[in-house]
């Protein structure tokens, strides 16, 4: 059930309305049922995988709690965590990486002149499996570290794993945030639950998410898809333009989903973590990853990078830890070498940035660079965007060979005439659609500036303004979605990019 589908626009108000009216002791049961109904709209059978992951990690948490009560040694606790990880990652690995592994084995066998292995069965990747698996495993580690007590109520824990606003594409929540709120939800009376300001805030947040997705992401996707699907026909200008277009598309698409999820949860009284914080305004790749897909980047930092030794090791080991983390992040996004290459590129960015920092500092001092000036900051952000857009080529390409072919044509097939001959209007969007896109991106840029300068969410900024300003902003967003949104008869609600991960 997609957020930008008619079915969700019927499901969500009904789910919230019943949630507000039923006795508070039954609220988590209702939300659990609604969450499983939401998930089963894709494939009812795969709800068994969601339930299986929930049971394994819940039972593992109980065993860890028992070990802590009995003062058992770390040996048994480590084995419990290992078994929980083995079960969950085993299921994830089978559904997500079996075909990838088989394809690589067959490629090796073919190169050696041996008979290839037949594909024994067709595997369909269950939607959201990477997200809820990581969320459940994070709970296991949190209990092991005694950051949170084991949740004894199976249904409350199941709701934590399957909470429908963020179930299939994040943000990947932490038990210290969402599970604690689920435990406290029974304490909220009707007046506290039906808080006008909170509900209005949630609706504004959802509206902004729909604007990002339906007005910008789905429109600019036409350009990115047109060029990337036929990249061998184009030259430098068009290929660079499409790479920049995809950079905007994936941000608006994924940030749009996360924003709708945060707003939907807030209407029901839950505060989810912010997943994006103006990443293209970052002034370094390190800062970019502190602002992009925050829930996943912090998950890898807390549960992989730091356990590997983090930056507490020597320089070479620290770089190795970084590369392992980013390679894992790349493969988490997809079972293909071009995703691994995307992660490796960002890992190299991090390593090169760390190694060249002393040299850059000396250059800035020798040249008396005004590092707090607008021009310097703008140059840094522009450089980060270019580096990120280059890496996104690996992410968007259908294969590693296509990515290298795409990059090769950028440097070998100049088409400077495309800057002036109207080529950009022949990439799938007519002039009117391009004008709408430029106008919408202007709104995106202004909102980004406000958010970056004020160090707060856009809704928090709006809440401080006069009523006429708040309602005016809401009206502009609503009419932009109504007039310019990609929807209507014959429209197939475009799937969010991160659903495939």
Read off the DSSP letter of residue 214. I
Cα gap 311→302, rounded to integer Å: 12
CB atoms inside a 10 Å sphere around CB 189 = 9
Residue 494 Cα distances to 66, 122, 198, 486, angstroms? 47, 24, 29, 9
Q: Give a three-class secondary structure readout of 254-267.
A: HHHHHHHHHHHHHH
Hey, what are 170's tokens?
């994040």
Cα gap 185→170, rounded to integer Å: 21
Active centre residues (catalytic): 333
Hey, what are 318's tokens?
């620290």
As to burial, measured by CB atoms within 10 angstroms (0-12 exposed, 13-18 middle, 19+ buried), residue 489 is: exposed
Hey, what are 222's tokens?
């036409």
Helices and strands of the chain, counted as H and E runs:
20, 0
> Burial letters for 406-444: b for 16+ Cβ neighbours within 10 Å, e otherwise?
bbebbeeeeeeebeeeebbeebbbeeebbebbeebbebb
Cα gap 344→292, rounded to integer Å: 17
């Amino acid at each position: 059930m997609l957020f930008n589908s008619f079915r969700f626009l019927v499901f969500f108000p009904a789910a919230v309305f019943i949630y507000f009216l039923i006795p508070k002791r039954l609220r988590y049961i209702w939300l659990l049922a609604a969450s499983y109904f939401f998930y089963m709209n894709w494939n009812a059978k795969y709800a068994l995988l969601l339930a299986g992951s929930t049971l394994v990690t819940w039972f593992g948490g109980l065993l860890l709690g028992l070990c802590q009560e009995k003062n058992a040694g770390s040996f048994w606790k480590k084995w419990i965590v290992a078994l929980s990880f083995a079960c969950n990652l085993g299921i994830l690995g089978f559904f997500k990486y079996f075909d990838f592994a088989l394809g690589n084995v067959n490629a090796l066998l073919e190169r050696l002149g041996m008979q290839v292995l037949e594909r024994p069965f067709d595997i369909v990747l269950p939607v959201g499996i990477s997200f809820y698996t990581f969320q459940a495993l994070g709970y296991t580690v949190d209990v092991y570290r005694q950051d949170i007590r084991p949740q004894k109520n199976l249904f409350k824990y199941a709701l934590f794993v399957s909470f429908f606003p963020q179930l299939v594409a994040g943000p990947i929540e932490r038990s210290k945030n969402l599970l604690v709120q689920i435990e406290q939800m029974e304490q909220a009376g009707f007046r506290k639950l039906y808080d006008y300001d909170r509900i209005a805030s949630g609706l504004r947040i959802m509206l902004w998410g729909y604007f990002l997705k339906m007005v910008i992401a789905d429109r600019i996707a036409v350009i990115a898809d047109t060029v990337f699907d036929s990249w061998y026909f184009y030259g430098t200008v068009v290929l660079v333009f499409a790479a920049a277009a995809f950079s905007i598309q994936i941000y608006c698409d994924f940030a749009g989903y996360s924003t709708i999820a945060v707003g939907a949860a807030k209407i029901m009284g839950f505060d989810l973590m912010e997943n994006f914080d103006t990443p293209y305004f970052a002034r370094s790749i390190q800062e970019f990853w502190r602002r992009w897909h925050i829930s996943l980047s912090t998950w890898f930092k807390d549960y992989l990078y730091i356990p590997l030794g983090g930056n507490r090791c020597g320089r070479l080991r620290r770089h190795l830890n970084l590369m392992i983390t980013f390679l894992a992040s790349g493969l988490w996004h997809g079972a293909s070498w071009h995703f691994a290459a995307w992660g490796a590129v960002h890992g190299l960015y991090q390593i090169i940035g760390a190694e060249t920092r002393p040299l850059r500092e000396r250059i800035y001092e020798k040249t008396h660079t005004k590092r707090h000036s607008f021009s310097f900051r703008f140059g840094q952000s522009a450089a980060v965007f270019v580096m990120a857009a280059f890496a996104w080529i690996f992410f968007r390409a259908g294969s590693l060979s296509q990515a290298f072919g795409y990059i090769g044509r950028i440097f070998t097939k100049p088409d400077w005439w495309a800057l002036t001959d109207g080529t950009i209007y022949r990439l799938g969007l007519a002039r009117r659609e391009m004008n709408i896109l430029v106008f919408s991106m202007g709104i995106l840029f202004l909102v980004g500036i406000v958010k970056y300068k004020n160090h707060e969410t856009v809704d928090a900024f709006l809440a401080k303004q006069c009523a006429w300003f708040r309602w005016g902003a809401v009206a502009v967003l609503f009419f932009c979605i109504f007039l310019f949104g990609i929807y209507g008869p014959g429209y197939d609600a475009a799937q969010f990019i991160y659903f495939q991960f």
